[in-house]
Structure 1
Amino acid sequence: MERCAWANQSETEKKYHDELWGKPLYDSKALFKMLILESQQAGLSWITILNKWEAFEDAYDHFDPDKIIHYDDAKINELMNNTGIIRNRMKIDATIHNAKMYFNVEKKYGSFSDFIWSFVDYKPIINHYQSLKEVPATTPISDKLSKALKKEGFKFLGPTTVYAFMQAVGMVNDHMDNCFCK
């Protein structure tokens, strides 16, 4: 059984690749969670996030934006002292801020999912790559979505982070053509 080469480094990566990565995700809160995890990854390797996934879930109340918008200084201090997560104050502040922006988008567009998926006409883009070297870091669509998110007030979501998010949630299918998940 062949899978994308990047996923063969550890059992954690294999499981993520096989069960989650690239599978279309339409639930608004699940999309918000993935957006936050991708923003936490900026400047780090994805395996760092995968290894801290459960700690993130616990620390951030399962990424429930209804709870995150109420985080206060005490909760921020708790997060800053939590060795199980990324303890970057700017990323923590951005997560809280982005939860507030999530609700603005929900109100303005009907759902966060509708807003996100509108950038790919509500269906995954299926790419055909033979090697990881062919996969771009950004695309015109990720550039456009990043700009739109920034316009809506979101932080820590540049085009590279947004493209990784698009791959993770199945907006684009970048599994290699020889991958069993294609």
Structure 2
Amino acid sequence: MSAPSRVRSVDSSSDREFRSVLVPAGNNKPVKKTDKTKDLTFTAKKKSSPPLSPSILRRNGVSMNASYSSEASSSCESSPLSMASTSSGKRALRRNGSNTSSALRRNLTEERDEKAGGDCFFSDGRKRCAWITPKSDQRYIAFHDEEWGVPVHDDKKLFELLSLSGALAELSWKDILSKRQSFREVFMDFDPIAITELTNKKITSPEIATTPLLSDQKLRSILENANQVRKIIVEFGSFDKYIWNFVNQKPTQSQFRYPRQVPVKTSKAEFISKDLVRRGFRSVSPTVIYSFMQTSGLTNDHLVSCFRHQECISKDQTG
């Protein structure tokens, strides 16, 4: 749910690489300057201060085009800046001058991110991560609600999630989840022992070709990875024990408030990726591995406002 997948927090660290693509930007339609707008810049000495114009805010380093656009969408998908989010910024500028411009930019960005998920109401009344909306595919919502972030310790399930995360190079989570049953049928429920008995010829047979899943290269990488998982099971006793050793058998509990704080990879993902590549695994880039860590519960990246954040912590403590 890299899915999916595309600042500083309580849990931030220097090894995280941040992204801001999870929340679409607002309407960037430029604000047309008028003589009236220009005149407003010379009314600061008047007793009743008029509203600050977009041009004034731009001079202080803040672009409010999205807020002032009459065409800005109010849907959960577009998550534009709202007019309400500018009121505190205006007061701050009048009180402290241009020195508050950086703080204002930060506050507006945070309010934008919060509204990205905060205005999305589900029929069950529960709040979810901002990248899940009532308009999302039902399989994707179920995946978020039931699997994403839950600690997994079954070898077959772990290998399935690793393989599906690798498929993100060619498919979205929506497409992957829609073809999930087909993946399970082709790859023997992702039993790494059973998969090693398959051959490239069987994977590319006409029967399987009628239900295209991935490119031949990606299909063969799953076969090769199954062989490597089998070796790991012999060496460590289970794939579960091997992979959870990287986090000391304890999931990382993130404390992200905003979508832009969620990384696409970490130094831990890079370390795991390098070890897997050294062992002969394919299609296991740091980005793929971090997506796998999210889906298998090695890290809990649900936003703190999401109802699943605390539930995943509880599952870790009781599991």
Whole-Å separation in 2 of the counterparts to 1:43 and 1:36? 12
* Distance in 2, Cα, partners of 1:138 & 1:73: 31
User: Equivalent residue for 1:155?
Assistant: 282
Partner of 2:79: none
Aligned to 1:135: 262
The structure that is helix-richer by fraction is: 1
Superposed CA deviations along residues 18-37 of structure 1, whole A, max 9, x for unmatched, are 01110000112211111111
1:60 to 187, 210, 221: 187
Gap runs ≥5 in structure 2: 1-125, 310-319
- What SS class does the counterpart of residue 136 from structure 1 fall into? coil
Task: Look up the match of 2:127.
Answer: 2
Q: After TM superposition, list the pairs within 5 Å mapping 1:1-182 onto structure 2.
A: 1-8=126-133, 9-78=136-205, 81-86=209-214, 88-182=215-309
Q: Provide the C-alpha distance between the structure 2 equivalents of 1:123 and 1:83, rounded to a whole number of angstroms.
A: 38
Q: CA RMSD in A?
A: 1.4
Tell me by how many angstroms 1:80 deviates. Answer: 5.5
> Could you tell me how far apart the structure 2 residues matched to 1:169 and 1:72 are?
27
Bigger CA drift: 59-68 or 23-32? 59-68
**TM-score normalised by length of structure 1:** 0.94
Structure 1: any 5+ residue segments left out of the alignment?
none
Opposite residue 193 of structure 2, the aligned amino acid is D
The TM-score normalised by the length of structure 2 is 0.55
Q: C-alpha displacement at 1:107, in angstroms?
A: 1.2
| Paired residue secondary structure (1:6) | coil
Separation in structure 2 between the aligned mates of residue 65 and residue 57 of structure 1, nearest angstrom: 12
Q: In terms of mean alpha carbon deviation, does 152-161 or 2-11 score higher?
A: 2-11
> How far apart, in 1, do the equivalents of 2:199 and 2:278 lie?
25
Q: 2 CA distance for matches of 1:92 and 1:10?
A: 25
